[in-house]
């Protein structure tokens, strides 16, 4: 699981990152809103820990943008503001949980686990994009009514695209999510598997190449 921590206090990001890594999570950090939003776009996280007050953009607006891009993304908001209206504002902006600074790391970790557990137990089983459907309970893929037979890695790659439709996925993100480690810059394994998927889907334009960046699942641009 990958967690993104967006906080302008280096000591906070360092402490949280160290604790989360020790707990077994992959962690990205950002010290301002722009860097955080860029990281969330390029390396989609499974959960975001977000500071309420950032130097370049209010945390509430960052929360709204994250929520608009990923409706199911768990977001835990951190803040020194403990008044009820402030907590309400955070929740209304799209935060799933709200933790007041200063906080104990053990409490943050417990809340992270709760949010990730809720995400994993969501009853969503059918992913749909255009006429492609993916049943995550049976691992069956279809194009219209046609059943598509996928290898385990082909399934994982298609699931990654379909859980992040219309989002550019970098090569690094795909390596991390599907293969779990870095093959190295010269490896063409992603290109090979994207080619397999395009052939099995019967449409070379559904998964589009973003030159020198990665790939995106989207409708063909007319």
Task: State the SS3 of the chain.
Answer: CEEEEECCCHHHHHHHHHHHHHCCCEEEEECCHHHHHHHHHHCCCCEEEEECCCCCCCHHHHHHHHHHHCCCCCEEEEECCCCHHHHHHHHHCCCCEEEECCCCHHHHHHHHHHHHHHHHCCCCCEEEECCEEEECCCCEEEECCEEECCCHHHHHHHHHHHHCCCCCEEHHHHHHHHHCCCCCCCCCHHHHHHHHHHHHHCCCCCEEEECCCEEEECCCCC
Residues in the chain: 222
Residue 187: the pLDDT is: 67
Name the token pair of 177. Answer: 């999510």
Name the token pair of 138. Answer: 């049976």
Name the token pair of 184. Answer: 């190295």
CA 19 to each of CA 23, 24, 107: distance values in angstroms, whole numbers, following the listed order: 6, 9, 12
Residues 6+ positions from 43 with CB-CB distance below 8 Å: 2, 4, 28, 170, 172, 173, 176
Residue 77: the pLDDT is: 92
C-alpha to C-alpha distance for 59 and 52, rounded to whole angstroms = 4
- The tens digit of pLDDT for each residue in 76-135 reads 999 887 777 887 888 888 888 889 888 999 999 999 998 888 766 555 578 999 899 999
The CATH number that domain 126-217 falls under is 1.10.10.10
What fold characterizes domain 2-120?
Answer: Rossmann fold (3.40.50)
C-alpha to C-alpha distance for 102 and 108, rounded to whole angstroms = 11
Q: Do domains 2-120 and 126-217 have the same CATH topology?
A: no
- The tens digit of pLDDT for each residue in 155-205 reads 989 999 999 999 999 988 888 888 765 444 456 889 999 999 999 999 889
Is there a contact between 109 and 49 (Cβ–Cβ < 8 Å)? no
Beta-carbon count within 10 A of 96 CB: 21
Domain ranges of the chain: 2-120, 126-217
- Which of 96, 53, 54, 58 lies closest to 74, judged by CA? 96
Kindly indicate the confidence band of residue 55, based on its pLDDT and cuts at 50, 70 and 90.
very high
């Amino acid at each position: 699981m990958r967690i993104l921590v967006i906080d302008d206090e280096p000591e906070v990001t360092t402490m949280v990152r160290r604790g989360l890594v020790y707990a077994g999570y992959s962690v990205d950090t950002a010290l301002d809103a722009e860097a955080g939003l860029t990281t969330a776009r390029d390396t989609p996280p499974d959960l975001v820990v977000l500071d309420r007050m950032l130097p370049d953009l209010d945390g509430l607006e960052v929360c709204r943008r994250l929520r608009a891009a990923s409706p199911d993304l768990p977001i835990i908001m951190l803040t020194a503001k403990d008044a009820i209206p402030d907590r309400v504002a955070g929740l209304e902006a799209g935060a799933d949980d709200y933790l007041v600074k200063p906080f104990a790391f053990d409490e943050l970790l417990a809340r992270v686990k709760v949010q990730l557990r809720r995400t994993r137990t969501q009853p969503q089983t059918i992913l749909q994009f255009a006429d492609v459907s993916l049943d995550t309970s049976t691992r069956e893929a279809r194009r219209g009514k046609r059943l598509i037979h996928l290898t385990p890695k082909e399934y994982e790659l298609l699931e990654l695209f379909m859980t992040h439709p219309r989002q550019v996925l970098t090569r690094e993100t795909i390596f991390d999510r599907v293969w779990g480690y870095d093959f190295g810059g010269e490896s063409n394994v992603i290109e090979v598997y994207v080619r397999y998927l395009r052939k099995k889907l019967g449409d070379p334009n559904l998964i589009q190449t973003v030159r020198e960046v990665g790939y995106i699942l989207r409708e063909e641009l007319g």
